[in-house]
Structure formats: C-alpha cells, structure tokens
Amino acid sequence: MRNNSKCVPFTDVEDRILQKLYMEKTCSQIGDLLGRSRDSIRTRMKRLGLVGGRRHLSGLGSAGRTRFNQWSEAEDDILKAQWQHLSNEVIGNKLGRTAMAVRLRKHALGLKRTGTVRFSDFVPKPPSREAINWAVAHFNDPDPYVQMEARMIAGQLI
C-alpha cells in the first residue's frame, strides 16, 4: 500500500481490475492488490459507477454477513409476515441481520404501524378532581351502586 500523499491517477488496467473484482472483494482487499488505500479504491469505484456490489464498501458486517447485502424475496416475505408480532432484534436474529437492518428494510417496504399502542395506554389514569369530589360526597350514599362507584374511585387513590 502506498503511503505517499501524492495523488496517482488510476490506469486503464486498474480500472478493469476494479470492474472485475468489485462484486467479489472488499475495497481493502482490492487496495492491497493494487497498492492503493481503501478510500482511494472506494472513491474510484464511485466515479466509475461501480456501486451496488455485495462487498464493495467495507467488507464483513455482523454475524459474518456482508454489509449492504441485498434482501432476498424470501427474507422480505418473512419480514412481512412477522414484523407486527416480533421485535426487530428477534427478526434480525432469525435472518442473520442486525436490528437496524430490519428497521431500515421495514421502512423501505413501507411497513408502518397504525394506531401505535404505548405502555401508557395500559396504565390507569388517576381520577380527576371532579371525580374525587363526587366520590367523597357519595361515599356513604344509601344507593349501593352509587356507594360502590364512589368506593372504586376512592380505591384508585390508594
């Protein structure tokens, strides 16, 4: 690998090598082969329009998979079937992808939750000041149903 700061133009031969190897090798591997830095290989590939390769940016990601790996139809089908029931982490583990990759793919497929359920929806809200005043006034009401309602409201305060 060259360690000088001079910009050495790419040759036609190097361009042809890039075109042949960009789908199979990482930028670091191609750079080692050509004696150039990973960043110079990445920049040249972009200028040549060589994007979309399986391993052209950084090499291996988590779980031994290549980064920026294309999603197969089977993976999309699994995601579409399970996205509402399982977390991104669980789906990612099943597919060998990260939770962030699952999240981004859901966004790309337009899979959005409607009517999001939040934890606060299940936590009972405290009674209002008016309800508390009513419960205090009717705590010993002769009607057993009114008395029961007043005691239930008072019970929420405990």
pLDDT tens digits, one per residue of 17-76? 988 888 888 888 899 999 999 889 888 988 888 765 544 444 444 444 444 578 888 889
Examine the domain organization and report whether 134 and 156 are in the same domain. Answer: yes
Same domain, 37 and 95: no
What is d(CA 25, CA 88) in angstroms, rounded to the nearest whole number?
29
Same domain, yes or no: 65 and 128: no
Domain holding 57, by residue range, is 1-69
- Same domain for 61 and 19, yes or no, is yes
Long-range interactions of 26-29: CB distance < 8 A, separation 24+: 26/55, 26/56, 26/57, 26/58, 26/59, 26/60, 27/56, 27/57, 27/58, 27/59, 28/59, 29/59
Same domain, 132 and 111: no
Q: Do 96 and 131 fall into the same domain?
A: no
- Claim to verify: residue 129 and residue 114 sit in the same structural domain: no
Is 128 found in the same domain as 114? no
Task: Count how many domains the chain has.
Answer: 3
62 and 12 within one domain? yes
Using one digit for the tens of pLDDT, what is the confidence trace for 101-143?
999 999 999 988 776 666 666 777 778 888 888 888 888 888 8
Q: What pLDDT score was predicted for residue 62?
A: 41
pTM across the whole model:
0.35
Q: Are residues 64 and 4 in the same domain?
A: yes
> CATH code at 29?
1.10.10
User: 118-128 pLDDT, tens per residue?
Assistant: 666 677 777 88
Q: Are 107 and 133 found together in one domain?
A: no
